[in-house]
Amino acid sequence: MSFINLLWVLLLGSLLGLELIGKVPPTLHTPLMSGANAISGITMLAALTAIIKSEPGSPLLIIGSISLGFALFNVVGGFLVTDRMLAMFSRKPNKKK
């Protein structure tokens, strides 16, 4: 995968991100921020790759593992906390049914 191709991917990804959020009701600002924050923990893929590609006995194994820990803290915590917030909104309509 050449560098230029990756730049294209970056550009298209950014445009997609700009388009995805148009009008967000203020109610959802906090959950959306928290959810997007969880997704940014996708760096765990970089940490995983580093661990897998690492040479035997290299310090990269440990650094990668710590990095993976930080990323998963972000991902798991982020999604759970977002779900906790959103659960409060969706509780109402269910009761009414």
97 binds other proteins (CB under 8 A): no
CB of 97 to other proteins, least distance (A): 14
Which residues within the stretch 26-65 sit at the binding site for other proteins (CB under 8 A)? 26-65
Output the smallest distance, CB 8 to other proteins, in A.
10
94 makes contact with other proteins (CB under 8 A): no
Length of the chain: 97
Tell me the number of residues near other proteins by CB under 8 A: 87
Cα–Cα distance measured from residue 35 to residue 1, given in angstroms and rounded to the nearest whole number: 30
Output the DSSP codes for 51-89.
Answer: HHHPPTT-THHHHHHHHHHHHHHHHHHHHHHHHHHHHHH
